[in-house]
Amino acid sequence: MSITGKINNTLNKWMKASGPDPDVVISSRIRLARNLMEVPFPNYASDKEAKRVIDKVESLLEEEDNDFGLKLLDLEKIPVLEKEVMVEKHLISPEHAEPGQHKAMLLTDDESVSIMINEEDHIRSQILFSGLQLEEAWELGDQVDDYLESKLNFAFSEEYGYLTTCPTNAGTGMRASVMVHLPALNLSNQINDVLRAISQLGLAVRGLYGEGTEALGNIYQISNQVTLGPSEEEIIENLQGVIKQIINQERNARKRLMKQNKVELTDRIYRSYGVLKYSRKISSKEAMKLLSDVKLGVDLGIINDVSASIFNELMVLISPPALQRLTGKDLNSSQRDEKRANLIRKRIREK
């Protein structure tokens, strides 16, 4: 496969920045945890029982009404590098990418639906959409769940809802999360106040890359913490409401920066752009930081000759496993830094 082929092969929908509110929201995700009634949870299941879970799912797919086009992938047979790329694309968890028996997944061609089999729970369905599309993602997730449930007996109790390995997921089994880019809130030192306010609302916030509040690339993931009690719709409504406020705050912060610190902001953005355009070696940490500035520049209309999706794409493409996969050979970190710089220069010019 050519490099372009491989790159296109690596990109998927959420990276194309085609969804609503793309200036702040990168992606929306719904995850549903389910277990089969008659089998112990994965951590307590025997080899045979774990295999049975996969067999059951497989026989479900063989029926005629597999409208979603889900395909079963045996993760034991997939090369480590491919699995790591899947992690970078948020299709599977890092734990699920680790070697182990009876780990599998279901995936649609466009990768908007991915279902981990035998992770912490027997079944974890995930719907990943571009931009702010929580309701749409839940709608599809609900349908996929109905489809799975039409043939599989899910562990469910009237009182506690869907029964999960960890009681923190019981009830709806649903984790709704939104990935947001908040550079202006960070630049204007408001980010910690905002994050504190969010966590007081019963939502969880984490920097997606890097640790703690020092999020790499100013990317944060905000999700519901409570899964038992409110309905799926209520959880989504609540999260959606908070996200809308965050979008407003970030946009206001951008406006304020443009008004009060226009020269400083523009200077910063162009410097970052310059480095990405001309550097010959760059670490992923630095690249993430600079790409965040460039994305801000694109969203503010300061930079006009770069496509809006470049940030989402490069975030995944410049990760060590993706780079390794693109070049097809083992790279040390110095070689990776070189390849990364080359790739960024090329993608930025391509538009």
Partner 1 sequence: MLCQECQKREATVHLTKIINNKKKEIYLCDKCAQNKEELNFGKEGFSFNNLLTGLLNSEFGTDTPNSSLNLNYNKKVEEECENCGLNYAEFSRQGKLGCSECYIEFENRINKLLKKIHGNNRHTGKVPKRTGGVIRTRKEIQQLREKMQDAVQKEEFEEAAKLRDAIKELEEEIDE
Nearest approach, Cβ of residue 141 and partner 1 (Å): 10
* Closest CB 115 distance from partner 1, rounded Å: 16
Burial bucket for residue 16 (CB in 10 Å: 0-12, 13-18, 19+)? middle
Task: State the nearest-atom distance from the C-beta of 47 to partner 1, in Å.
Answer: 15
Residue 94 contacts partner 1 per CB under 8 A: no
The alpha carbon dihedral of 250, 256, 260, 262 has a sign of: positive
Of the two residues 22 and 171, which places its CB atom closer to partner 1 in the complex?
Answer: 171
Looking at the Cβ atoms of 127 and 341, the one nearer to partner 1 is 127
CB of 4 to partner 1, least distance (A): 39
Cβ neighbours for 47, distance < 8 A, ≥ 6 positions apart: 101, 102
Position among 158, 211, 305, 330 found at the interface with partner 1 (CB under 8 A) = 158
- Shortest spacing between CB 190 and partner 1, in angstroms: 26
Tokens of 221: 């993931």
Nearest to 281 by CA among 331, 330, 344, 329: 344
Is the backbone of residue 91 left (phi > 0), alpha (psi -120 to 50) or beta?
Answer: alpha
| Rounded-to-integer distance, Cα 210 and Cα 278, Å | 25
Query: Closer CB to partner 1, residue 14 or residue 162?
Result: 162
**Bridge partners, 32 (sequence order):** 125, 174
Residues that bind partner 1 (rule: CB under 8 A) add up to a total of 40
Cβ-contact 183, 295 below 8 angstroms: yes
- 150 lies in the binding site for partner 1 (CB under 8 A): yes
- Closest by alpha carbon to 90, among 30, 166, 159? 30
Positive/negative CA dihedral, 33, 69, 328, 207: negative
Q: Which is nearer to partner 1, 69 or 94 (CB)?
A: 94
Q: Restricting to residues 36-55, name those near partner 1 by CB under 8 A.
A: 37, 39-41, 43-44
* Tokens standing for residue 311: 């940030």
- Contact between 199 and partner 1 by CB under 8 A: the answer reads no
Q: Would you give the binding string for partner 1 spanning residues 164-193, x where CB under 8 A is met?
A: -xxxx-xxx-x-------------------
226/308 with CB nearer partner 1: 226
Query: Judged by CB, which is closer to partner 1: 30, or 344?
Result: 30
DSSP alpha helices (H): ranges in the chain? 3-10, 47-62, 80-88, 94-97, 134-149, 183-187, 191-200, 232-260, 262-278, 284-299, 310-317, 320-327, 333-350
Interaction of residue 120 with partner 1, rule CB under 8 A: yes
Using CB under 8 A as the binding rule, the residues of this chain from 210 to 249 that contact partner 1 are 226-232
- Contact between 155 and partner 1 per CB under 8 A: yes
d(CA 216, CA 3): 27
Looking at residue 89, its amino acid is K
Closest CB to partner 1 among 12 and 224?
Answer: 224
Nearer Cβ to partner 1 (95/264): 95
Q: Where do contacts with partner 1 occur on this chain (CB under 8 A)?
A: 35, 37, 39-41, 43-44, 120, 142, 145-146, 149-150, 153-163, 165-168, 170-172, 174, 202, 226-232
